Chain A
Amino acid sequence: MRRMGIAFSASVAFAVGVLTLISLLLGDHPELYGNVAGAEIWAGLLALPAAVLLRLVTLTVAVTIVIGIVNLLHVHAGRGLRRQFYSIVMIASFAFTMYWYLTRQGDTSLLAAVQVPIESALAALLFLSMAQGGARVMKKRADIWGLLFVTVMVIVLLGTLPLPALAPLREWSDWLMDIPVGAGARAILLGIALGTVVAGVRILLGQDRSYRG
């Protein structure tokens, strides 16, 4: 029975995946059909499965967010009953925000007054951490690679400064950003693309079955 379940779910995933792929590739592109009669109609029909399935996916994701919220509340409610302070604060904040938003339609001042400043402050702390971290690169490894790392870092930073005296360094900085960094960025993006293709193929072939949970 378990094997049948696996085979069934894999078959459904395979069928839906292939259908979506065909629909995205051939749908809404009547020019691909040449002079075939009714090309527009066929292209429109082929585009339909992808549109419907994508809509289903986005709705499912939206539902999972609701489920996530409910689960979060459930977990913290349990902890709150055990008098865990932060869970009580979380539940109270949730209730207050819900009340605020429902009674003042469209008022997002809580977001502007609380969440944005807090998150911006946390992001600003990153600058201090990065600077302190950059100062300690040679602490553990005082070798040629550490020196190279620090040198590149300082050149790039100096190149960003709008000081006329540093104009020659700006060319070095631009070169570093355009060539090595650009090459690295493209390599990362190529890796992501290849990884995505491989993951898609593995799911279509039934080797990855993450959809079974």
Chain B
Amino acid sequence: MTDDFSWLDYEDEDTAADAKRPSRLSGLRRLAPGFLRRGDSSAAESPADEASPGRLRRMFGALPAFIGRFRRARSEVSAADLALQRGERPIEDLDDRLQALRQRSSAHPDSAAESTGQALYDVDDVLVTPEIIHRPGGVISAVALSKAQQEQVALLRDMVGGSAQTGEAEPSSRRIFRPRSGFSLDAAPQLIGSMLLLLAIALPFVSSDFREGELPPSEFHEDRHGVSTAYSLLDNLSRDDFVLVAFEYGPTAAGELDPMADIILRHIMAQGSTPIIVSSNPIAVSHARNVIAKIERSVAPAAISFEESRDYYLLRYLSGGALGLRDLSENFDSIIRFSSTGKATGLGLTSLNDLTLMVVIAERADAIRNWAEQVAPETETKLIAATGYAAQPLSQPYVDGSDEIIGLIVGIRDVYTYGEKLGAIYADYTPDPGRVVEQPTATRTPTATATPTETATETPAPTETPTPTATEIEPEALPLGAGPATAAPATVEATLTATATAPPAAVVPSATATTALIEVIEVTAGGLVNIRREPNTTSDILGVAEAGDVFEVIGGTDDGSWINFLMADDIAAWIAEFLVDQYQMPLDEFRAVESASVGSAQSVLRVEFPLRLGKNRPRLYQVDPPGSPERPEIVLLRDRRHEIAQLDAMTLGAIAAILIIVTGNVFYAMRGLLQRRRGPDGQ
């Protein structure tokens, strides 16, 4: 086969020795020298190769050796090579307009003139010929350059410090990079802009009068199912659960992500669970220790102290980036054996599946990508992703595209909502000054079986604590009438383990008899029935209910075909009328029935609709009833003094930035338009 590009192998006299080197041949050919020789010999025998030297000489002239090397090293499919291969097109192939232009230019009496303007006949009216400046001396000035080019050369020379070598006088139009002494009017706009930004950011910390905009909501937006699910998963943690928390951020992002790490760690530890902290960033391991220490200082008034390898575990730095994370998933049991200080942890976990949850707090999308690719596919444990605003766009596709990753918790606005939600729930657990807070046992190993715990409240029977995991249920397994045949947990009462205090009244059904009647519906259809967001069958499915579930009615459609009711967590939902019976029930009786109903496995499903192209399959998560906090003080004693000021500073800073951006660009756009109107000569 003839090599069409073989003429590129032309060896100039100066470059012959270099060209014989095999270094630019492909790696595959290096492994197979016989193949290489055959290929070369066939190329050398081609007619194109024999004819090429003269052609290249004509094209390039006598080129220096190093340019010859560049030519050989060039890719065979580059645009430059393809252009070089093209010969001149025959005149007949040219467009009619081009042929006419060529004839006119040939016939013009001054076509042979030497002046630039005359050579550009019919074009010089359109193009502005640059002013040629001839300057004596210097390397650069050997070439005639336009004024604009001269300025660019001067700028480049300034940047590389070349003016000293050429010894030229500095032109007046040249930009000089020197440290300026004193104030310059040129820098005034930047200075004013920076001062405005700093002022906007600082004012909210000085006075609460400088408040603009609304605070984030106290509930996550209903469209953000992922964040709600992440919160629920953390809220369902309980004693004996282990959560892997990945600190994938350094000091640079501490300002934004420390509050997020703080509240997530507090939530985990308040639930009585144990965080195991890892990182593929060596500084983050030390920084995590500081975050824990800060939490410990804040809960000192409640006589709570943390001890490493008892309340939390800090593992060694995972070297190797993505490979380190792969190592974690492959050799989990050996990695968790030692802490960051080299001491034995005593953890009895053997694989990632022994963890209840994994949480990644990442500064960059790369970190989330590494966890999504190297760890999440290797385990059934869910991964919650949290990040800052900058990394959100590149992190979101991983959350949307993977069933294993839940989130995305983003920035301090989500932290505020998280804190509000958590504070509202934990507010019921007012710390008792006289209460002795029990510390967890020293070394615990997770048990695969459910731990029987006695409830301190009046419950129908001693119950088993449901395993606090979020089990994703395949949507296919939930057609109408084909629901899972598992027995429903009998209670949702908070079960306090080994604490002397009574559970809060808000969680326990009131024992006070109430005779008021309320309107309820009871599901009568067999199997599982869909609960929807809107009163139509194309609406989102919020969950499913089964026969016997009872809900409080809050309304309905005019024709009565759909009923509006409150499902778990007081979420308003709709159900078709023919699937239920509607009647009145005493309030106290309803509360008892509702407890059992809401606690059933089928009616506390959370549904996510990930943003995907094509078929949009909902993800259904079975979320167990909220776990009871072991140490609510850890959450309640969180310092939130500057939280609102931070949010206000962010809002005011963004407003100031928008003002600066708009003002600056309007100014420059006007100036550009004026310059364009004046023309290139400035007249």
Please tell me the number of chain A residues within 8 Å of chain B, measured between CB atoms: 69
Contact B394 A207 (CB under 8 A): no
Closest to A193 in B: B373
Contact A119 B252 (CB under 8 A): yes
Tell me if B460 counts as interface (CB < 8 A to partner A). Answer: no
Q: Which residues of B contact A128 (CB under 8 A)?
A: 194, 197-198
Contact B290 A108 (CB under 8 A): yes
Tell me if A31 counts as interface (CB < 8 A to partner B). Answer: no
Q: Per-residue CB proximity of A1-25 to B under 8 Å, as 1/0? A: 0010011001000000000000000
Contact B660 A134 (CB under 8 A): yes
Contact B658 A106 (CB under 8 A): no
Tell me if B166 counts as interface (CB < 8 A to partner A). Answer: no
Contact A116 B251 (CB under 8 A): yes
Name B287's contact: one of A116, A161, A177, A178 (CB within 8 Å).
A116
Decide yes or no: A162 and B213 within 8 Å by CB, A58-B320, A62-B319, A182-B393 being known contacts. yes
Closest to B648 in A: A162
Contact B397 A108 (CB under 8 A): no
Task: Compute how far the CA of A154 lies from the CA of B661 in the bound complex, rounded to whole angstroms.
Answer: 8
Task: Compute how far the CA of A154 lies from the CA of B327 in the bound complex, rounded to whole angstroms.
Answer: 44
Interface residues of B in 324-345 (CB under 8 A from A): 324, 326-327, 330-331, 334, 341
Contact A58 B324 (CB under 8 A): yes
Decide yes or no: A106 and B254 within 8 Å by CB, A154-B658, A161-B654 being known contacts. no
Decide yes or no: A205 and B27 within 8 Å by CB, A128-B197, A136-B664, A164-B214 being known contacts. yes
Task: Compute how far the CA of A3 lies from the CA of B22 in the bound complex, rounded to whole angstroms.
Answer: 11
- How far does the Cβ of B211 sit from chain A's closest Cβ, in whole Å? 11
Contact A135 B341 (CB under 8 A): no
Q: Which residues of A contact B668 (CB under 8 A)?
A: 136-139, 142
Task: Compute how far the CA of A7 lies from the CA of B252 in the bound complex, rounded to whole angstroms.
Answer: 44
Tell me if B653 counts as interface (CB < 8 A to partner A). Answer: yes
- How far does the Cβ of A23 sit from chain B's closest Cβ, in whole Å? 9
Tell me if B255 counts as interface (CB < 8 A to partner A). Answer: yes
Task: Compute how far the CA of A162 lies from the CA of B290 in the bound complex, rounded to whole angstroms.
Answer: 32
Tell me if A46 counts as interface (CB < 8 A to partner B). Answer: no
Please tell me the number of chain B residues within 8 Å of chain A, measured between CB atoms: 67
Task: Compute how far the CA of A118 lies from the CA of B197 in the bound complex, rounded to whole angstroms.
Answer: 20
Decide yes or no: A57 and B190 within 8 Å by CB, A106-B341, A108-B289, A122-B252 being known contacts. no
Tell me if A181 counts as interface (CB < 8 A to partner B). Answer: yes
Q: Which residues of A contact B197 (CB under 8 A)?
A: 127-128, 131
Contact A57 B327 (CB under 8 A): yes
Partner-binding segment picked from A47-55, A71-79, A81-89: A47-55
Q: Which residues of A contact B212 (CB under 8 A)?
A: 163
Tell me if B592 counts as interface (CB < 8 A to partner A). Answer: no
Closest to B394 in A: A185
Q: Per-residue CB proximity of A183-209 to B under 8 Å, as 1/0? A: 011101100100000000010011111
- How far does the Cβ of B244 sit from chain A's closest Cβ, in whole Å? 17
Name A57's contact: one of B213, B286, B323, B661 (CB within 8 Å).
B323
Task: Compute how far the CA of A105 lies from the CA of B340 in the bound complex, rounded to whole angstroms.
Answer: 12
- How far does the Cβ of A15 sit from chain B's closest Cβ, in whole Å? 13
Which residues of B come within 8 Å of A, CB atoms? 26-28, 30-31, 189-190, 193-194, 197-198, 212-216, 250-255, 282-283, 286-287, 289-290, 318-321, 323-324, 326-327, 330-331, 334, 341, 369, 393-394, 396-398, 413, 611, 651, 653-658, 660-665, 668-669, 671-673, 676
Q: List 10 A-B contacts (CB under 8 A).
A: A57-B320, A108-B290, A116-B251, A123-B255, A131-B197, A131-B661, A137-B661, A161-B213, A185-B394, A207-B26
Which residues of A come within 8 Å of B, CB atoms? 3, 6-7, 10, 47, 50-51, 54-55, 57-59, 61-62, 65, 105-106, 108-109, 111-112, 115-116, 118-120, 122-124, 127-128, 130-132, 134-139, 142, 146-147, 150, 153-154, 157-158, 160-164, 177-178, 181-182, 184-186, 188-189, 192, 202, 205-209
A-B pairs, 6 with minimum CB distance: A135-B664, A142-B672, A207-B27, A162-B213, A119-B251, A138-B668
